[in-house]
Amino acid sequence: MNIAVVGSGYVGLVAGACLAELGHNVILVDNDQRKLAALKNGQCPIHEEFLPELLQRHRGKRLEFTSDLGEAVRRSQAIFIAVGTPPKNDGDADLSYVESVAKGIAGAIDSYKVIVEKSTVPVYTNSWIRKVMILNGAPEELFDVASNPEFLREGEAVTDFLYPDRIVVGADCDRCALILERIYQPLVEGSYYERPDAIPGPATGSFAARLIRASTKSAELIKHASNAFLAMKISFINAVASVCEAVDADVKQVCEGIGSDSRIGQRFLYPGIGYGGSCFPKDLLAFRAVARESGCLFGLLDETVRVNEEQRIRFLRKVRKALWTLKGKRLGVLGLAFKNGTDDVRESPAIAIIKALLKEGCSITAYDPAAMERAAEEFAPEGITFASDPYEALEGADACLVLTEWEDFAALDPARMKSLLRYPIVVDGRNLFDPSAMEAAGLNYYSIGRADVVVDHRSTHKTESSLEIGKSDWDIA
């Protein structure tokens, strides 16, 4: 089929490349001329596994790039809207970009089209897109609007698209639904997975994606409710981790116990410094706004947000506990992206924590395998130092802070870390390291939901109390 995808951000670019991979002819539309020039030259603007390979495979063949929305609409049977929906001050989603695209489509429509919401939008957006298009001259019989929410994890977006848990098609008429079903036919029938050049994914043996047909309003709610539930699961385990610390339990053991229940599962039961990124924070606020406007009390969403914000404050308390005072301290930070596998720093808890530490008078040397260029834009006024590798970030630092769960960091040598640090202190916001290994290396180790490891460097055994100024590490100097 001939498909237009409007917007070349994370969702639009991945969707466009993957739809081309399924055999469709895709026109990717964006008004950012610099980004279009980079894409036409074969550059991949985001860090995403397998995406550079797909762009290289289909660029100039099944995938082209343009700023001409009207031409793309006229040449396409389906138009996917994948533009940003940032939060407004009241938490509601800003749909002005969606409205602008709808107006542009209305002015160019010349035959029957399916307009597909791919952006994450609140319920009733489908109805508003239809109203806007009719008000701007689009004949009612020449289009239908469908909802096809994305469920992509940054860092794993390509495999999530091609090996989905489910494909949700929100359509209120059969004609519209059949076109979307045809678009995803290679995944639903399983023919894509038989191809020798198929992108490798998590499925083994025969696999076929599940397609769920729903109304447009139900599909819109499925997306917001899914993200709200996952954010709630993260906040829940972080609250449990706080209880573990208070009663001297091990949150890792607790996670294993409750995650073994098939009704709960292990996924997203990873305590840390809280969720971030471009989806969870804004989607939770938008869903909360929808509930409020609908007259529904949904206090659970408020508490999810509160626990997430509190988790960053709790981590800063851990840093103070390890170092006593923060002014003048030099800190080696590992991780800037909001999660591993991506260069995205939007709403990253790592960035928020670093900014708080800079306000306290700390100096920061940071390393991230993918996100340093994007993070540099966040710190232009304050300024931090970027290292060329993890060990360089730790050299001469008063403490090491782990803020993103990159596998590269988990493989670091604790003994070498200790030799580089001024004081043997690691504050791990992602529970990447084994406490016993850190103790064996002589490191004071503070993590989430687990007992502190505080080494008495005079007797090299673990002490019961926290680091006491003047009795242990500071005597090293």
Q: Tens digit of pLDDT for each residue in 270-293?
A: 999 999 988 888 888 888 888 888
CATH annotation of 311-476: 3.40.50.720
In the chain, CATH 3.40.50.720 covers 2-214, 311-476
Token pair in block for residue 27: 């026109």
Give 191-213 pLDDT, tens digit per residue: 999 999 999 998 766 889 999 99
Token pair in block for residue 163: 């090996």
Instruction: With cut-offs at 50, 70 and 90, classify the pLDDT of residue 466.
Output: very low
pLDDT reading at 472 higher than 60: no
C-beta of residue 230 within 8 angstroms of C-beta of residue 165: no
What's 387-430 look like in SS3? CCCHHHHHCCCCEEEECCCCHHHHCCCHHHHHHHCCCCEEEECC
Instruction: With cut-offs at 50, 70 and 90, classify the pLDDT of residue 473.
Output: very low
Question: Mean pLDDT score of the chain, rounded to an integer?
Answer: 92
Q: Which CATH class is domain 2-214?
A: alpha beta
* pTM of the shown model: 0.87
Ranking 232-236, 331-335, 473-477 by mean pLDDT, the lowest is 473-477
Q: Report the percent of the chain where pLDDT is more than 90.
A: 84
Give 14-23 pLDDT, tens digit per residue: 999 999 999 9
Bridge-based pairing state of the strands 385-386 and 363-367: parallel
Sheet with strand 143-147: strands edge to edge = 63-66, 25-29, 2-6, 78-81, 113-117, 143-147, 167-170, 211-214
The amino acid that residue 177 corresponds to is A
- Residue 279 appears among annotated catalytic residues: yes
Give 329-372 pLDDT, tens digit per residue: 999 999 999 999 999 999 999 999 999 999 999 999 999 999 99
C-beta of residue 233 within 8 angstroms of C-beta of residue 366: no
Token pair in block for residue 176: 């519209």
pLDDT of residue 316: 97
C-beta of residue 28 within 8 angstroms of C-beta of residue 71: no
pLDDT reading at 124 higher than 90: no
In the chain, CATH 1.10.1040.10 covers 226-307
Nearest to 418 by CA among 439, 387, 435, 402: 439
Fold of the domain built from segment(s) 226-307: N-(1-d-carboxylethyl)-l-norvaline Dehydrogenase; domain 2 (1.10.1040)
pLDDT of residue 373: 93
Instruction: With cut-offs at 50, 70 and 90, classify the pLDDT of residue 458.
Output: low
pLDDT reading at 52 higher than 90: yes
Whole-number Å distance between alpha carbons of 244 and 242? 5
Catalytic residue, chosen from 18, 176, 279, 362, is 279
